[in-house]
Structure 1
């Protein structure tokens, strides 16, 4: 930015600028509004993506850009400010008209080489923000006290500053009365308890009266409305998440301005699908609305039969009926029932077939429901990563599994038709990008020796033939080191955004 002569500085906390440069915190950048176009061209050239913040956190004259460092694999959130706002919570009802003064008195960081505020100027700015924003304080002994972390920052800035510099910036930004008051507070010793410190608010307000976004009454009403809305949404998500599914996935994360991505990870058993999906989520989730959905089948009959057994003996146990010989005790039922329990806990062959068919239909219906909810998340600019993704073509690729033979009853044929209809509709909703982890069957079997080699070979063959139409499919060598696989996948995802 210095080469492009864009006036800028990191303005919120120079003591933590190192963490921001590492992507551990937001990088709050103040930029001259006259250089907005030049900055946007520079960010786009460096592959930054313009995103949107949730309504509850969006501020006027700010933009949220996210960049990707391909060497480290880290995402960086650049919070660009063209104007400075402060106030209670995210309401930010006060505009601080100090941009020109801050930009004119920025210096180069001796440790990182980026533009930061002079320590004395940053001390004044942080002091006023501490007086206006409740997040900097806490109740203690009937009075408001500056939180320890912010008090430490102010003390360190005070130690780096000259008193005359603090007085100069205080007079310039706050006017004669407030500047003198600030100097008096400093001369009398740094006040961690804010009984006197909050007197600064009364001195600041006259100079900021014309810069308030709303009057006092409207500000209070808006603040209370935001608080009550947040409580109502939290209660809804906890107690009635299925009433309005569009609100269920609302988060306080960033989202893309255009549609997000549905990312599918497929591959044979042992290829590392679940691990890779979790790595992608861990990479995106600190900044974006991102979640993992498991699209695998599992053991239909065992899981369903065990659930029925648990319910049965919970009811009978409440009625005082003891389990029969060979059954599982009520107290240990949750831990004792496993897919390897004795045949006394398994259904008969005929009932097992019916239970398997019904479970497969329920599974197909759940997949379709989850896929539709994933579409809603993506439409809001979020990301959904699926651990596996069914293919309509082959049961070994997690496709339809009910096979109808000649002579089967009409009821079973209808069940099979319903299952195929669900998978057909799922086939019409493909992911945005597919990563297929390629792994030789023998290597996969060595990683998963409890699986049958023949089934691993069949699934690997089915996955090689899988076709998602126009959806790009990236084949990843799963024999590579895990960090190499993750780095390659991240690069492909960021390029597609």
Structure 2
């Protein structure tokens, strides 16, 4: 069977998926939403794939070979016999999501309390789409499944929503679009015969009515005549409580996370709690903030991501540092005013006096202490999020290799001061930056480019200053287990993102293998202080 030429680009990872399934002789098919198959092949929508449950070990191996990693939905979003696999396409950086169904679990949102025992029928009658070389559900099977799924959904929708069942209704637009597409490609007589065989003779009249046009009354009749209640695997009361509780908890959790009050997963996490920390470093003009934002935005569509700013510039700051930022801006304005009035007579009262050196040192010490405390708190958040299986993306990362700049300690010059308090502050600040006492990143991406090119993006800095910062970043070292890579910052924004996501994918796979080896006792458990944060 062929549905015409493919109108969008087929991703390499999807081609690899099809090749792996064929080479291992795995029984599978895309069992729903084939109306937008082109979008699925291009990675713009998910792939809902039904597999033979008896072949599950081979399915897992095939998906891994194709470049997919399993991610566990949080408990409230988890459905029995449905697994989630995500893969990054190497050519485009798109995140492809495979819903692996080993049984036909359908029903209300956030619950899925119905099991349709028709897996054998759907897989036995599957067809190979010649244009994509991917197996699809037979149109008649897919159409009957759509009618049954819609009848179940309508049972839990308001009467007003059911009455407005039409292509113009935003609630039902997806179902109506798929229905019209499938009806053009199906034998209506075959659909009725299939309904009689799977649901009984009483289901045929409402199915025949629905094949003439979707309407709420016929859907209700199908639910009763087809005795769809027999496929329920959870009582009505338990399903209602689960649906209400899950919906409420997810909305509350998402709202609290958006406000930065909690760092708990609300979507999917890496299994075995094998999350990662990705640190992005680069000189001014390298695009590290842009890459951090783009990477977090793309990954957070499917995975739980925590994005943190660990610098001292214009990013988000803590409440402790905010008053100091306001004071520094005010002092900077006063300083500029003093410079403009420096040519006035010495006795002029309007001339601003410069701040004393000791007062500036005191202000600098307050700034350094507030900044170190802020970074320690954020690093703790990063380690805790990683231990929960989340992906943490940071703009910059504290280090001890270079002191005084590039996110290094600022009070190192007090280490030998005659005042004990300042010596103690220097030691305390260094501990906040010390790799031995903090979680270390799993992947460090250093954006590197020609200083002259980077300066074109930052006109407020000279080439020498950018070159000095970049040289320092190249000298920064991390824990031996940390993977450090360099990416050309002069590439386009999209290409930099693709290259970075490829490194993230490889690091996730490496961390997954290491975690599995530790679980099996092949490698010793982690005992460094930074890794004990949870």
For the aligned pair, the TM-score class normalised by the smaller chain equals 0.7 to 0.9
Q: Distance in 1 between matches of 2:97 and 2:500?
A: 20
Q: Relative to 1, partners in 2 of residues 1:170 and 1:309: Cα closer, same or farther, differing over 3 Å?
A: same
Alignment pair present for 1:366 and 2:366:
no
User: Matched residue of 2:219: which SS?
Assistant: coil
User: Matched residue of 2:87: which SS?
Assistant: strand
Q: Relative to 1, partners in 2 of residues 1:306 and 1:359: Cα closer, same or farther, differing over 3 Å?
A: closer
What is the RMSD computed on CA atoms of the aligned residues? Answer: 3.3
Q: Distance in 1 between matches of 2:352 and 2:23?
A: 73
Q: Which residue of 2 aligns with 1:197?
A: 219
Q: Which residue of 1 aligns with 2:244?
A: 224
Deviates more, 1:433-442 or 1:14-23: 433-442
Deviations 1:99-156 (A, max 9, x none): 1111122223365332222222211111110111259966538846361332232123
Cα deviation, residue 172, structure 1: 2.0
Cα deviation, residue 435, structure 1: 1.4
Q: Distance in 1 between matches of 2:36 and 2:376?
A: 46
- The counterpart of 2:391, out of the listed 383, 392, 396, is 383
Alignment pair present for 1:487 and 2:507:
no
Alignment pair present for 1:281 and 2:289:
no
Cα deviation, residue 226, structure 1: 2.8
CA contact under 8 A between 1:445 and 1:452: conserved in structure 2? yes
CA contact under 8 A between 1:396 and 1:458: conserved in structure 2? no
CA contact under 8 A between 2:127 and 2:135: conserved in structure 1? yes
Q: Relative to 1, partners in 2 of residues 1:480 and 1:152: Cα closer, same or farther, differing over 3 Å?
A: closer
Deviates more, 1:227-236 or 1:101-110: 227-236
CA contact under 8 A between 2:206 and 2:218: conserved in structure 1? no
Alignment pair present for 1:100 and 2:120:
yes
Deviations 1:440-479 (A, max 9, x none): 4444334323124443343233223211131221123333
Cα deviation, residue 43, structure 1: 1.6
- The counterpart of 2:432, out of the listed 419, 422, 434, is 422
CA contact under 8 A between 2:306 and 2:382: conserved in structure 1? no
Alignment pair present for 1:438 and 2:463:
no
Deviations 1:167-198 (A, max 9, x none): 11211221111123312443xx4133x13321
Cα deviation, residue 37, structure 1: 2.1
User: Matched residue of 1:269: which SS?
Assistant: coil
Q: Which residue of 2 aligns with 1:321?
A: none
CA contact under 8 A between 1:365 and 1:422: conserved in structure 2? yes
Q: Distance in 2 between matches of 1:51 and 1:260?
A: 10
User: Matched residue of 1:195: which SS?
Assistant: helix
User: Matched residue of 2:98: which SS?
Assistant: strand
- The counterpart of 1:294, out of the listed 293, 305, 309, is 309
Deviations 1:215-251 (A, max 9, x none): 3333333333334434554565578x64xx4xx3332
User: Matched residue of 1:29: which SS?
Assistant: strand
Count of residues paired in the alignment: 463
Q: Relative to 1, partners in 2 of residues 1:235 and 1:9: Cα closer, same or farther, differing over 3 Å?
A: closer
Please list, as runs of the form range in 1=range in 2, the aligned pairs for 1:385-404 lying within 5 A after superposition.
Answer: 385-394=393-402, 395-402=404-411, 403-404=413-414
CA contact under 8 A between 2:82 and 2:99: conserved in structure 1? yes
Q: Relative to 1, partners in 2 of residues 1:134 and 1:255: Cα closer, same or farther, differing over 3 Å?
A: farther
Q: Distance in 2 between matches of 1:390 and 1:437?
A: 16
Deviates more, 1:137-146 or 1:98-107: 137-146
Q: Which residue of 1 aligns with 2:472?
A: 462
Residue segments in structure 1 that go unaligned for 5+ positions in a row: 311-326, 329-336
CA contact under 8 A between 2:70 and 2:270: conserved in structure 1? no
Q: Which residue of 2 aligns with 1:317?
A: none
Deviates more, 1:71-80 or 1:403-412: 403-412
TM-score, structure 1 as length reference: 0.83
Q: Which residue of 2 aligns with 1:29?
A: 49
CA contact under 8 A between 1:266 and 1:437: conserved in structure 2? yes
